[in-house]
Chains A and B, each alone.
Chain A
């Protein structure tokens, strides 16, 4: 398998685009025609559906190189997007090992890892990186281990310390977030950083989700999908930069909604790290323009029904109330009322 990496941007001229293959493999998040907030975990790991974003442990796609470039731009303007409290360094090494090992095993033609005891040699062909270093010796890397590896891995990464029957957001690399801030959340526990979710808290969903996460064992990662809507293919929709992307919501018209309105899907996964007992929480973001999404008839029908019937407070929470009517009207033309097949995948 060879991947052709796109030359594209996630800001300014927004030249981000999905190839037909990328559209087919998009992780469409709705398995039914209606949506309810839930924490529906399923096992993650090797052996996911061939060709899908679930096939490999850390999916690498055509956006990899451009996404890493975008991360570097964001970090240069705001270094606090990457933070690690002092006790999290061991977890950073765990994460580095996990990602390097998975990438080298899953994409041997792109990444290689040679280990000779503590002396490691890492090759990242797409980014043209070759690094010899001593595992667990931070002086042999250009930056901390978590920052080093997450500058080479798509998606945001939160690294959660586990203590007192709770999880603590004590380290992370966050440059492609859906409106949350690492600098604000750093050091918070599971309930604190989830605080603004409406309704779900009453349902005890969080209590149960936390229990599940605390007991995630090594070798059994889990995943779930989350979603929201973003105007323009912008990765960095952080509260710090709301002044840059917030006003863009007002630029949606019935004429441009198909091209400018994106469905934003997060593939969240959870991994127990061996040496530190921390929990790695990668949040991988996938973006698709509505006009591309509707090329899959099942998804067009279903997204229309979901957006149309969504409770108001959820649309508010996800931040697209202003454009909801335009989106619904646009999608309605692709919904002929026919039934949809179960599950998230496109029909063959």
Chain B
């Protein structure tokens, strides 16, 4: 994974929970451009652990002067967001991967409808800039509980395409209304909590939308869980995976070579063969098919966990 050492040039609170960070090249070089919806993986040396978290880029895709991300503090989470909130200040240097996009716009679309819930607004911020520049028809619907929590309002341009639905103000998002009456050839993109993605899929199905026109941002932070152990078939070693650690992170800590890219169960790069499994794999990925998941012969170590007696993987 190609990465660059970048300098933090701004760290600003957008809301009590969300901070914006800006990275620039230490010698002022131009960074590779990207497409709306792309993310980068930020490396965080946290104590004796190296964390790598993926964040959507929220800066202008056509502006190579810097990369910006928005990080929400997840107190129950695995520490990556706490590290960013607590310890990272302007002047610090962090390793950042080159952008990768697993949530790109379908440029064939007649129109683009973007639906965001909460921090799920982040990939759309760069997409909105791309759509405005390309002069493509779109509308963005952004649901948040309250104005103080709606970090995206600070980051979106003031244009009529942007609709905020603030539930505290009695202005809830009405998916049925959004999805009906759109022109043929419209593509819909959803990013936010699982519940929102399911709701859009259900409304879409009810209104006769083709599945291929409904996209969702599927990668996510690795969920924490119970600690577990995994045996490595090639070396015979057994490694322990901590409650706030992913299997991928545990493999990396044990210096086992493994490829990765999205670290969120979406790209397929970390796919690993299961040699034997006595117990249940908790599949959290969006990569394996349902059949592959229930067969328990493959695992995506970046997000998936295990519960049971013993798991042996081909690493």
Contacts and interface: CB of A to CB of B under 8 A. Distances in A.
A275 B35 contact: yes
Contact of B106 (A85, A163, A274, A275): A163
Contacts of B99: 217-218, 274
Contacts of A272: 100
A274 B271 contact: no
Interface centre among A86, A219, A277 (most CB of B within 10 A): A277
Interface in B35-52: 35, 37-38
Q: Interface size for chain A: under 10, 10 to 19, 20 to 34, or 35 or more residues?
A: 20 to 34
B267 A215 contact: yes
B2 A217 contact: yes
Contacts of B100: 215, 217-218, 272
Given A87-B108, A217-B100, A220-B2, A277 B35 contact: yes
A89 to B, nearest CB: 9
A277 B34 CA distance: 7
Interface in B96-139: 97-101, 104, 106-108, 134
A90 interface: yes
A33 B235 CA distance: 31
Nearest to B260: A215
A86 B136 CA distance: 13
Interface in A268-290: 272, 274-277
A311 to B, nearest CB: 27
Nearest to B38: A277
B1 A220 contact: yes
Contacts of B61: 275
A144 to B, nearest CB: 15
User: How many of chain B's residues touch chain A, expressed as a range?
Assistant: 20 to 34
B269 A219 contact: no
B107 A90 contact: yes
Interface in A189-234: 211-212, 214-215, 217-220
Nearest to B269: A215
A214 B267 contact: yes
B66 interface: no
Given A164-B212, A277-B104, A214 B35 contact: no
A66 B269 CA distance: 41
A67 interface: no
A275 B35 CA distance: 5
A162 interface: yes
A219 B96 CA distance: 13
Interface string B214-227: 00000000000000
A13 to B, nearest CB: 45
Interface of B is mostly: loop
Given A87-B107, A162-B104, A275-B62, A217 B1 contact: yes
A31 to B, nearest CB: 22
A218 B101 CA distance: 9
Contacts of B38: 277
A219 B35 contact: no
B35 A274 contact: yes
Contact of A214 (B33, B106, B107, B268): B268
B261 interface: yes
A219 B98 contact: yes
A161 interface: yes
Nearest to B64: A274
B267 A218 contact: no
Nearest to B270: A215
A186 B33 CA distance: 27
B262 interface: yes
Interface string B1-45: 110000000000000000000000000000011110110000000
Interface in A83-124: 85-88, 90
The 10 closest A-B pairs by CB, nearest first: A87-B107, A219-B2, A277-B104, A211-B268, A277-B35, A215-B267, A274-B33, A277-B101, A87-B108, A218-B98
13 contacts: A86-B108, A88-B107, A161-B107, A163-B106, A214-B267, A215-B262, A217-B1, A217-B100, A218-B2, A218-B100, A219-B2, A219-B32, A275-B62
